[in-house]
């Protein structure tokens, strides 16, 4: 599995390096990416925000499928010399790295949309840092990280060149989005025949979040039609904070009220997608937070 680079990186282990690598790993986690996507959707461009959301979710769905197919153990599980750190973020199998793939998909697509030199440099540093951090933490092999980077770049390309032009066209967007949902649903139904409930959970989460996001966007096209941006900086900051407080409440606040089985967790993620794409913009228009 080529553990030498991991052992080499862990020779530099220290409190400072632990903090630094944990930071980079955190930057690649879904909740951070969702927070940035929500900001783009509400404040910059809802069509670009939607494109990033859908392509990220599909990329993560494929990531989980590949993990189930390849079934590679984690480095800290296979090599006694490798210490596993932050292993609570390393559920399931190793290949490909979900953090590396998600970061590559999202940050590269974000940079392509806005074409700012500082953003490109920052994104490259973050994507590289996320991948290296996952090796330092002992949860991924080099091939996991490389595979995640390359697959992520592929999805970033597909997001910009294929999905975004469809979403820009209000006539084509509904069919394209519903087609994606249908394909994911069919794939999940086939997958549950062959995998355990625990292995199927990430697939249901990606599907339910995508479904909530798509339904919300289509409802916005039909009813709300909110206009992103167009407010003073103070209002933009306020509405973002309000929107994200509810996202956090859905994630954490409902834990005590609903069970942790697949259906209830999936419903929670469905609500997150629906809230970001339609619920908050519709409420925000009534509260004069959106135009």
Please tell me the predicted confidence (pLDDT) of residue 101: 97
Residues in the chain: 291
Residue in 271, 134, 281 with CA at minimum distance from that of residue 205: 271
DSSP 253: G
- What pLDDT, on a 0 to 100 scale, did the predictor assign at position 229? 74
120 in a domain, yes or no? yes
The pLDDT value given to residue 99 = 94
Before 49, cis peptide (omega within 30)? no
pLDDT on residue 254: 59
Range of the domain at 55: 4-286
Task: Name the pTM for this structure.
Answer: 0.93
Residue 14, in any domain of the structure? yes
pLDDT, one tens digit per residue, over 222-249 is: 888 888 877 688 888 888 999 999 999 8
For residues 10 and 189, what is the distance between their CA atoms, to the nearest angstrom? 41
Distance in angstroms (rounded) separating the CA atoms of residues 93 and 219: 37
Other C-beta atoms lying within 10 Å of the C-beta of residue 235: 14
| Predicted local distance difference test score (pLDDT) of residue 262 | 80
In-domain check, residue 28:
yes
What is the four-CA torsion angle of 13, 17, 18, 23, rounded to 10 degrees?
-150
Q: Is residue 282 part of a domain?
A: yes
User: What is the C-alpha separation between 181 and 166, in angstroms, rounded?
Assistant: 15
Given a cut of 50, the residues of the chain with pLDDT beneath it are none
Residue 291 maps to a domain: no
d(CA 106, CA 38): 13
- Is 112 a domain residue? yes
Contact indicator for 119, 44 with CB cutoff of 8 Å:
no
Contact, 78 vs 138, CB < 8 A?
no
Q: Would 34 be classed as within a structural domain?
A: yes
> For residues 280 and 68, what is the distance between their CA atoms, to the nearest angstrom?
35
Q: How many domains does the chain have?
A: 1
In a domain, 212, yes or no: yes
């Amino acid at each position: 599995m080529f553990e030498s680079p991991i052992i080499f990186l862990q020779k530099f282990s220290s409190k400072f390096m632990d903090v630094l690598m944990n930071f980079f790993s955190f930057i690649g986690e879904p909740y951070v990416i969702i927070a940035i996507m929500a900001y783009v959707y509400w404040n910059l461009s809802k069509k670009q925000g939607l494109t990033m959301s859908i392509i990220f979710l599909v990329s993560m769905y494929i990531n989980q499928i590949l993990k189930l197919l390849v079934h590679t153990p984690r480095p800290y599980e296979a090599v006694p010399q490798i210490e596993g750190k932050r292993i609570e973020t390393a559920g399931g199998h190793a290949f490909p790295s979900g953090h590396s793939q998600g970061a590559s998909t999202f940050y590269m697509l974000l940079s392509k949309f806005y074409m700012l030199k500082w953003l490109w440099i920052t994104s490259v540093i973050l994507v590289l840092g996320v991948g290296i951090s996952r090796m330092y933490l002992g949860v991924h092999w080099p091939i996991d990280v490389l595979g995640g980077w390359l697959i992520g770049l592929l999805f970033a390309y597909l997001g910009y060149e294929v999905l975004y032009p469809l979403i820009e066209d209000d006539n084509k967007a509904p069919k394209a989005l519903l087609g994606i949902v249908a394909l994911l649903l069919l794939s999940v139904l086939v997958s549950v025949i062959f995998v355990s409930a625990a292995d199927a959970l990430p697939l249901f989460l990606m599907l339910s979040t995508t479904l909530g996001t798509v339904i919300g966007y289509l409802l916005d096209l039909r009813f709300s039609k909110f206009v992103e941006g167009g407010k003073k900086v103070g209002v933009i900051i306020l509405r973002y904070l309000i929107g994200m407080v509810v996202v956090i409440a859905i994630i954490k606040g409902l834990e005590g009220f609903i069970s942790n089985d697949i259906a209830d967790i999936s419903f929670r993620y469905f609500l997150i997608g629906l809230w970001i794409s339609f619920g908050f913009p519709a409420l925000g228009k009534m509260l004069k937070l959106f135009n």
